[in-house]
Chain A
């Protein structure tokens, strides 16, 4: 089975924000929520690079480890999802996440946060595939329709790729060999460096509570 990953080729990204827009439109993402964003490093200086970043669907997700209500799950494809029925909007996952992926809608003027929202790898949530509830809570489930994440599909320079990690790595290495350089897959050592592949779990499964951090 495929291990789903994102790979953003920093040498190709032209900061057009099509991935960001595609994501917002596909999932009807509320105002102020950034499931995917573009970060420009060394802006205006030599060596400027733009990287499209969203949830990287880590092997040993820090969000799932710190969640006080244990609302995360990881599918057999390695996609990290969460249940908005269980989430209490505490914000801990944002502190633990290396990539700033979790987002929270503001529900009151006193700054209280609603249920966390993040990139689902276009795979919906724990609700039945393609159901109305799933769409309303998590957006479209393209994976269940046999499609890949729309952000990557939309990328005009093929900088952002989403899909089977082994295939992405192969494309990236082939591409870098031909052009003669490549600065690596951004975030891969952080997201996938510690374990070889993600192991599926559901709320109440391994990686919960007092268990070890699950290194290597």
Chain B
């Protein structure tokens, strides 16, 4: 019995395959070969030339460069709009807007004075390590901001002045500097995180500072909400620079190794994030520089020579001053107890 059954099974299998096989090729053939049909053009004008292409078209390439498998990417149009208009509006608009707001504020408030006048006794605010970290970051940030602005605005603003050849030299130099200076920036960023993160953790007292806008608009008083080493405004600057700086560094390094981790769509998004963060940080740093220099009497000394006047410390950072007093960092005063 057994020997006769096996061929029958095999026969059935063959028959089944044949039935499937007969149907499948005819179906596939219909799609593989286009033949003239009812939709065929009857005149030359009916043959389409311009076929709308709104989606990314991705195929396969046999060359090593796999990013070239993208045949058409209409998203380039949005990136072009970003690069040639939106980016310039964001950076220029925020920077000029911030400067205008500060100019108006300066006219209204002037330099914020130390109400009690200078006491003449100095309190240690930032030691050499604090200042080294700050100025490493500050110099590298300003260098990158300047070189970035040269590359962004150079074509409409500098080429008409200095010509194409000189601008190419400047742009190439700016590009290299922008890349290299990112290293000290990140070193400074890591240092300030290690040094100041603990003092910048938001606390309850920050609410009071935010509600009263830090006393910035109370012209007459000399009223300052109580604050520790850093007030809410300084914490805001700290976190903007730390988080923004991390974002800028991450996107920046990804752009130095283009297409290493993402395709063209990802690279375009990375560019946009880098640009938006740059616009925000440049504006924030303009505000930071204002209040640290002409905006407030005695503020620059903190980062300039590391010490502040006792009265400045009492007015702006009473809680921190008391700590410094206990630690014996106030010149000419013995630690309590």
Residues of A within 8 A of B (CB): 11, 17, 32, 34, 37-43, 46-47, 51, 53, 62, 65-71, 85-88, 90-92, 94-100, 110-111, 113, 169-170, 172-174, 176-177, 179-190, 192-193, 203-204, 208-210, 213
Contact = CB atoms under 8 A, between A and B. Distances in A.
A32 B65 contact: yes
B32 A46 contact: yes
Interface in B53-76: 53, 57, 59-65, 67-74, 76
B165 A85 contact: yes
Nearest to B163: A204
Contacts of A97: 76
B151 A68 contact: yes
B83 A92 contact: yes
A68 B63 CA distance: 30
A99 B69 CA distance: 10
B84 A11 contact: no
Interface string B14-56: 0000000000000010011011110111111111111111000
Given A88-B175, A90-B151, A99-B71, A111 B167 contact: no
Contacts of A92: 83
B126 to A, nearest CB: 35
Given A177-B46, A188-B49, 15 more contacts: A43-B59, A51-B59, A67-B155, A69-B168, A86-B168, A95-B264, A96-B76, A100-B67, A100-B68, A113-B258, A177-B41, A182-B47, A185-B50, A190-B74, A209-B159
Given A51-B71, A180-B41, A209-B155, A38 B168 contact: no
A95 B151 contact: no
A53 B156 CA distance: 32
A85 B165 CA distance: 8
Interface size range on B against A: 35 or more
A98 B74 contact: yes
Contacts of B61: 37-40
A68 B39 CA distance: 47
Contacts of A39: 59-61, 68-69, 71
B221 to A, nearest CB: 46
B63 A96 contact: no
B74 A177 contact: no
B94 interface: no
